[in-house]
Amino acid sequence: MRAVVDNNLFVSGLLWGDKPGRLFGAAAAGRLQIFLSEALLAELREVLQRRKFAARLALKGLTPETGLAQVQAAARVIPAPPVPLPTLLRDADDLPVLACAVAAEVDVIITGDKDLLALNRFKGIPIITVNEALERLKLS
């Protein structure tokens, strides 16, 4: 399955593991192909450097740089030209996720973001939760 995984799930997977962390395992096993854009990577870099995550990163033996490297190892970074703002999108900050999904021609967008989930699909691409992704991958 080809997917764009939203940064909220990367952060959860890195720092707490659980279901979002299982996406890394699926990627390592070749069952999930994850795509990222430079814009998504830059956002993740900024998020991982936030002070509120420092203690959790340290507990996991990670730095913002090593956490970012783990994500990059699990994903393929592609160019993603901007897409027009969908009229129903509630948060314009979610545009890089949609642009990456279209550019990579993915099967799904996996997110926990309520604004993205409210769209249900974008340009024919289903927007699903991590639980739905794990079910599709038969990892639930």
pLDDT tens across 90-133, in order? 888 899 999 999 999 999 999 999 999 999 999 999 999 999 99
123 neighbors 99 (Cβ within 8 angstroms): no
Q: How far apart are CA 122 and CA 62, in angstroms?
A: 34
Cα angle at 63 between 48 and 132, to 5 degrees? 50
DSSP code string of 35-98: EEEHHHHHHHHHHHTSGGGHHHHHHTT--HHHHHHHHHHHEEEE-----PPPTT-S-GGGHHHH
| H/E element, 109 | strand 108-110
pLDDT tens for each residue of 12-40: 999 998 899 999 889 989 999 999 999 99
State whether residue 17 is helix, strand or coil.
coil
97 neighbors 40 (Cβ within 8 angstroms): yes
Q: Compute the half-sphere exposure of residue 72: CA atoms within 13 Å on the CB side of its CA.
A: 11
> Domains plus CATH for the chain?
2-136 (3.40.50.1010)
pTM: 0.92
Token output for 104: 């990579």
